[in-house]
């Protein structure tokens, strides 16, 4: 489907069109969450529950959206989150998303479960001097030889950081997928996991799958064998943030996996300020989950995030219009962010602090 007329005017418009563009199998996978999907909905509701209290008559000349992240200056604080099996959304798959991100100066985090090889993705964008960061997300497979080889491939391909997902030792109970009878199409697979070690079995909890679950000693091992910056994705508890600092990680991504793993896990907008207080600026924080508007991005920065990641909004735009759709969705969010900054009295993102958010008497920001 082409953009056509009228063109989408917000990322939500792409979601409506994607439901028509995707078959029920793919729609259940990309749009659904775990169980009753309470966390999926709450992520969105939590950003909506935060209110901006703008300042007026502030100096806005020479304003910009630039931000520093892991030694790089980004044109804006938008990154594409790791999303698996993107060729199920559109034939261009991860390659289309990468090209769109590069064209818009956005960061890209490629999934371990990518349906396009990492080398092909990196080769297409790594020499673009205007692109954003190029990171590789990794799920440890319980075999350090296999994991080390995968990491070395990412280093050799030109990826600039590793993102270790820590909140999904097993899949969530995804009712929507089960009702749809979800299965991967024959021509789509996790190409990086061909030849991966077999899943463990035996034991009482989750059929023994947790025998290979990632633990803190695995974080220490990974930190010791890679020269790349290491971020942990999936942190919601302040104590885990402190433990991560002790392991020498370079950044944290506050995430509940888009509501796809543990249903009723708290929304990321609630967790973010508590984790920001816990780490005290020692490492950069990023956040995902429910971000659909430029005002959400501004609120996230005010709560302590250096940048944000989007997942469903871009993969649904990919389903509708390929790379063009992803680029357009990113541009829409960036335009909305700039408008929100101007109307809130923020010349730069450094001006977005918690005082920008209205706190009801007797409540904590982001909490009911």
DSSP track, 193-210: GTTPPPPP--SSGGGGGG
Cα 57 to chain centroid distance, Å, stands at 35
Residue 273: what are its φ and ψ, rounded to 5°? Answer: -65, -30
Write down the H helix ranges in 126-267. Answer: 144-157, 175-180, 216-225, 238-246
**Tens digit of each residue's pLDDT (9 = 90 or more) over 74-93:** 999 999 999 999 999 999 99
Beta strand pairing call for 51-52 and 307-310: unpaired
Q: Is the pLDDT reported for residue 44 higher than 60?
A: yes
Question: What number is the average pLDDT over the span 57-81?
Answer: 98
- Average confidence score pLDDT of the chain: 95
Q: Is the pLDDT reported for residue 205 higher than 60?
A: no
Decide if 200 contacts 208 (C-beta within 8 A). yes
Assign 298 a pLDDT band (cuts: 50, 70, 90).
very high
Which tokens go with 153? Answer: 């491939």
**Tens digit of each residue's pLDDT (9 = 90 or more) over 206-225:** 555 566 789 999 999 999 99
pTM for this one?
Answer: 0.96
Which helix (H) or strand (E) is 287 found in, with range?
strand 285-287
Share of the chain above pLDDT 70, in %: 93
Say how far apart CA 313 and CA 14 lie, in whole Å. Answer: 7
Residue 74: what are its φ and ψ, rounded to 5°? Answer: -95, 145
Question: What number is the average pLDDT over the span 169-197?
Answer: 95
Domain regions of the chain by residue span: 11-357
Question: What number is the average pLDDT over the span 32-58?
Answer: 98
The CA distances from residue 99 to 55, 106, 288, 330, in Å, are: 37, 10, 21, 12
pLDDT of residue 81: 98
- Burial 207-235, CB ≥16 within 10 A → b, else e: eebeebbbeeebbeebeeebebbbbbbbb
- Sign for the pseudo-dihedral over CA of 364, 232, 255, 64: positive
Which tokens go with 49? Answer: 């529950």
Decide if 5 contacts 303 (C-beta within 8 A). no
pLDDT of residue 199: 73
Write down the H helix ranges in 226-283. Answer: 238-246, 268-279
List residues bridging with 287 in a β-sheet.
254, 308
Say how far apart CA 177 and CA 261 lie, in whole Å. Answer: 13
Say how far apart CA 178 and CA 296 lie, in whole Å. Answer: 31
- Sign for the pseudo-dihedral over CA of 19, 21, 23, 26: negative
Q: Is the pLDDT reported for residue 296 higher than 60?
A: yes
Question: What number is the average pLDDT over the span 322-326?
Answer: 98
Q: Is the pLDDT reported for residue 352 higher than 90?
A: yes
How many C-beta atoms lie closer than 10 Å to residue 173's C-beta? 13
Question: What number is the average pLDDT over the span 307-322?
Answer: 98
Which residues form the catalytic set? 257
Calculated CA dihedral for residues 137, 142, 147, 148, nearest 10 degrees: 130
* Nearest CA among 159, 162, 149 for reference residue 119: 159
Name the 3-class secondary structure at 311. Answer: coil
pLDDT of residue 1: 45
Say how far apart CA 190 and CA 178 lie, in whole Å. Answer: 20
Decide if 308 contacts 291 (C-beta within 8 A). yes
Q: How large is the C-alpha radius of gyration of the chain? A: 20
> Would you say domain 11-357 falls under CATH 3.40.50.720?
no
């Amino acid at each position: 489907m082409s953009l056509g007329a009228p063109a989408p005017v917000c990322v939500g418009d792409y979601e409506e069109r994607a439901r028509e563009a995707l078959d029920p199998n793919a729609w259940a996978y990309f749009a659904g969450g775990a169980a009753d999907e309470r966390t999926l909905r709450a992520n969105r509701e939590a950003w909506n529950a935060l209110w901006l209290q703008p300042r007026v008559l502030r100096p806005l000349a020479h304003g910009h959206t630039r931000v520093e992240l892991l030694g790089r200056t980004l044109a804006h604080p938008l990154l594409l989150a790791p999303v698996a099996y993107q060729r199920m959304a559109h034939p261009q798959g991860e390659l289309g998303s990468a090209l769109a991100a590069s064209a818009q100066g956005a960061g890209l985090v490629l999934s371990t479960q990518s349906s396009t090889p990492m080398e092909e993705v990196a080769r297409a964008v790594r020499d673009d001097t205007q692109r954003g960061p190029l990171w590789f997300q990794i799920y440890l497979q319980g075999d350090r030889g296999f994991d080390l080889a995968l990491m070395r491939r990412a280093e050799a391909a030109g990826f600039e950081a590793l993102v270790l997902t820590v909140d999904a030792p097993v899949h969530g109970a995804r009712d929507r997928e089960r009702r749809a009878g979800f299965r991967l199409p024959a021509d789509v697979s996790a190409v990086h996991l061909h030849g991966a070690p077999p899943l463990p079995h035996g034991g009482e909890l989750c059929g023994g799958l947790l025998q290979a679950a990632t633990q803190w000693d695995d974080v220490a091992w990974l930190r010791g064998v890679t020269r790349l910056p290491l971020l942990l994705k999936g942190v919601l508890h302040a104590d885990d943030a402190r433990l991560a600092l002790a392991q020498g990680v370079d950044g944290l991504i506050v995430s509940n996996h888009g509501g796809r793993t543990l249903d009723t896990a708290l929304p990321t907008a609630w967790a973010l300020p508590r984790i920001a207080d816990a780490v005290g600026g020692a490492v950069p924080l990023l956040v995902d989950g429910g971000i659909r508007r430029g005002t959400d991005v501004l609120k996230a920065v005010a709560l302590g995030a250096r940048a944000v990641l989007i997942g469903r909004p871009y993969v649904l735009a990919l389903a509708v219009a390929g790379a063009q759709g992803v680029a357009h969705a990113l541009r829409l969010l960036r335009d909305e962010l700039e408008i929100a900054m101007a109307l809130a009295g923020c010349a730069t993102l450094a001006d977005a602090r918690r005082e920008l958010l209205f706190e009801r008497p007797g409540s904590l920001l982001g909490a009911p």
